[in-house]
Structure 1
Amino acid sequence: SQSCLLEITFIPKTVGHISGYLTISTNDPEAKTINIPLLGEGLPTPKPVISLTVESLDFGSVIVGEKKSMSIEIKNTGNADLLIDSIKISDKENFYVEGNCGQITPGGSCGINVVFKPKVEGEIDSFLTIVSNDESKPTLRIPLHGKGRPKPKPIAKVDHQFLDFSDVILGKSKELTVKLTNEGNAPLKVENVYITGENKENFSVQRNCDNVEQGKNCDIKVIFHPEKAGTLTGFLIIETNDKDIQVSISGTGKEKPEPKAEIDKPFGLNFGSVFVGESKEKAVKVSNKGTADLEIKSIKIEGDKNVFSIGSIRKAQTQCSVLRPKEVCVITIVYKPDSFQQNTGKLIIETNDKNNPRFEVPLSGIGTEKPEPDIYVEKTLDFGNVEIGKSVEKTIEIQNNGTAELIVENLIISENGNFEIIGNCPVIKPKEKCQLEIIFHPTKEGKIKGSLKVVSNDPDEPQINVNLTGSGKKPALPEIFVSKKLINFGTLFLGETVTKEITVKNKGTGNLFIEKVYLNDSEGFNIESNCGTVEPEGKCTISIRFSPESEGRKTGTIFIKSNDPDNKNISVRAIGKAIKVQEKEIDLNKDGKADENDIQKLVEDVLEKKKETPLDLNDDNETDIIDIILFLKAIKLMEGR
């Protein structure tokens, strides 16, 4: 009835369900072995796990000296307590931590604040380091970033460091403005504005602003009201929460100005001699030599108002009612005489100059007769009949009968295909004349009309037309005629000479010019000519001489070159034959000599037509009268020897 207690310990070495048996062996005959099942589960070892709500902190831009806070939550997502050993920041000058975390139970969290308070300007970087008992992440580094920006402040600027009021008349004032601008990034406070300096009583100040927002401006007016003459100076003081600004100021007090009028022609304007109907201008200058505006109250003419007048009254670009100091007004006076006499008058100028309120400028001039040119030209010029292709020249005179120079501005020819002008007459003095040559060269038959237009400065006749007439007729042309185109000298004995003539006639209406008569290289022919100029219906002679020096037929060509437009070159052909006869050939009766008996023998044989008589002197294969004539000539030649 006793028992014992066994204690079973479960120490798992692996995670998960684990089973086993407890076996008890005894001497109990009925239950020698008892197996008791053992069951258990191995669980993981408990560990803490750290996690953060942010990975980095960016504080942006923070003004130096001010601070910005950002929070971080530390969580324990493990199953054991999380122990935070330390929380540190690398840059303790510009960052620090508010709050602390020691132990965080599983599922719990703890919050801390990181504060950025920059002490310098510019980009600033650091790290937040958290050390814990998390075996996997014992140390966490969180980047920290921020930028220190300058502390905002106002910046006071003015647009002028010096104000110059120049001249201000005593008893009057002048106002200038200083513009105060805030170029900073904080409000600018205007604490005080005042004038200081030795002459501060001559200046005063008006301000319309106490605070100037950044980027804005305001005007501070300074008034100069001089109480005495001379240069007066002072200082404008502007006190602000940025700095005090000093602006130098200066002005000159001037006594009350007065105008002073002067003219450049106090002794008058003499226009001299001016042609009646024409005009001449002269000017009077009115100057303001004073220090105040000069008022010109009136300008008028007295005396011969019909010939003297006011042309223009002007200064640089405006009228002359008021002249400022040093300005000049130019008054133009026009003199236009209407008769041949002397004229006088006065130019009256009234101003506000107390010392010279009125100026009287004498005016004088003489009207004279204007010299004028007086042109004279014959109105008609006839050239008669002129052959086409030829020309006729005639002279025309342009006379100046006036008292001034005659200017011939233009000479214009119409029908300029048939009429032409030579010469020019630009200027003709009084009582002189100029000659022009007009050429008529007709290009067609019949009456031809044209005109010469003379344009001049003659006031009465500025344009004169001269009628030009002429007739074109057909040109007188030569017409060559040659009496013969062929000259036959027949048969000649060697040593014999024969001369023949041809007549050259001019059947045309113009002179025939025989320019050249020549012979080609022809043996036995020569020419002589008395032909040169052959008048219409006239004639001349050309002699052709045939004097053969060898036997045979001879030919030659005479060439006649002339001005006949249709027959410039004419040729005349010359022919002849030369023979040589021995005495034995014509001794027909064989008596040893050629004489009259042989002639009788030849005639009888010819009449009886006896062919046994061999006589064919001209080689025409027959004996005829020509042979008889040649036979007689041969007998005479024999007798002449």
Structure 2
Amino acid sequence: MRPNRSCSAPIAALLLPLLFACDPKVKVDRAEGIAVFEELASDGTAKLVDTTTLDFGPVLLCARSERKVVLRNDGRGSFRVDAALENDGYDASFRYQFEPMTLEVGDRVELVFFFEPSGAPGDRASKLTLRIFDANIEQLVIDLKGRAVDGGCLVEPQEALDFGHVALGTTFTRQVRITNSSDLPWTAKIAGITSELDPESFLLAGFEPGEITVPEHGEIVVPIEFRPAHLGEHSAFLHLPAPAICEPHILTLSGRGVDSVLECEPKVLATDPNTGAERWVWRLDFGFVNPGSKSVLPVVCTNLGNTDITLTGFELQQPPGKGDPFALETRETSLVAAAGGGTVELPLSFEPRLLGLQLGALHLLTDDAKTPQAKVELVGTGGGPDIEVLPPRLDLGRVAVDTTKAKAITIANVGTDISGTTEDNLRLVERRDGEWVEKHAELITDWPEELSLGEGLIGYLPQGIPAGASVDLKVFFSPTSPGRKSAVLRIYSNDPDEPTVRVEVVASAEVMPPCDYEVVPSQIPFGVVEPGQYSTIPFFVHNKAADPLDECIVATLGFSRGTPAAFSLPEGEITEAVIKGGEVLEVPVRFSPRADGQYTGAVEFYVSSPSAPMGQVALSGTSLKGCLLIAPNELDFGPVEVDCNARERVFTIYNVCPSNITLTSIETQQGLST
């Protein structure tokens, strides 16, 4: 029974103009166009004709083949193509789409034709005439030819055969299939494999080149073997001069030679202690991990080959006398890496009990011919960075709209120091592709214009934060509207068990009257205070408003970073205080040095003042064993009635040294009266 000859396929022919634009400013004399077809000769040169032939060759019934013809204007004037005239009995298997067009000087247009035979097999032919105006000729002729074939030839793969990754010293075989779907046998020819760079890498496996007969509705299998001769890319070509029923084929063959098709990461380039040669080894370095902490990292193995690889026989080698710090974090006894890039993950952990460098290994078995046994080196060091972020939740409190309040987050390294290296320092980084990359802290918020981070870390050095040290990161809140605002601060580090720390940040913005205040004194010089003694001097924040309801908020009052511990606040830091109009906030500051030297610092605080929201009082003092003894070192005048004078108070200055001392001046420290 013969197959149905009818086919239904939509007309999909296209007209693809490739019109080169002409400069409209250029004026030329009116002249006729020259209408020609462009044909390419076998040597690649262009041939200009007024009659051309599009031969589609053999095409399967109900299939489609495409051909193009280029129409050019080589004259000095434009011409118009206004019609495509079909000959009597035009075969509808030749399809196209035509629209009238004008070709300017130098224009080229691609006309696209399709041959979609249906019905009975056999030769087909038609003619199409293009009618031309304003040109050297009145028409151009296109002869259309093709042959409808019942059934046909299929070569699989059609263009390229890739063998993928193959290990040196091994082979991999793939097949080319030549299928005859026609009703008659035909003869094909296998010409052989050619390659200039890799002549012996691709071979016909047990197959003699030459002519072969492909039976009707049958196939021939051509096995090809790839044996890489070197690392890297290999290429060759399989020549298949085809019979008339098929299109000729030149099949590209490609493959890559590798040391092993099983690749595991991370890996490092190491020197062989026996030969001195460099080679890649699989090595998982956990870095620094504090005793009592645990770091989990994966080994990722990829199968680059063409067959599945099974990994099994996992066995850990522990460092002697170190308490078995390495562990395999899976109960799977075997894992399969699929062919063609499949991966498996082996999670391993390092939980040191002791300080110092610790070496181990993971041994495993595979069914890969090139790598039947494999080893992953394990490296870790007990000790190193341990991040601590304080406060764990940052509350900026009440902040007046149109002011700015800052508060510091302290990032400390509470880990263990390993002497002789700075690699154990806490660094603000993130691991990417096995490498540490600098990573700044991020503030995630819906109010990015109001909540922000300071430009840098106060006290941070390029080598990181040593054990026992800390840095400050300031968070700024500059509200423009009232309401509750929040954010999440993310801090990234090389802490092995806490690489990302999250801190919740909250604040409350309020509309308040602008605070008009003064700080008296703006600096406190404590003078000379002997080691072991102390001096306490207050400063005052005065709300200058006359209305008690015009309140000032003073908050986050404490010492600036770097202020020596010799300075202290006897009544503690102030989280928030409200000063009514006309009132004063007294803040005593104490200087109690323990050793000789010069001391400087500052008290910082927030005030709900749009013009001066950041208040500061500078501190200075000297500690020196001197010859003067002053007693008492404080004078309290007690309560005194208005318009009355206090009783005199006396202090005595003693010279406890054997030589005379001259006093040049005695001054009263500035204070505040209200």
Larger Cα-atom Rg? 1
Same-fold call, TM cutoff 0.5: no
TM superposition score normalised by structure 2: 0.24
Q: Higher RCO, 1 or 2 (CA under 8 Å, sep at least 6)?
A: 2
TM superposition score normalised by structure 1: 0.25
Hey, which of these two has a bigger chunk of helix by percent?
1
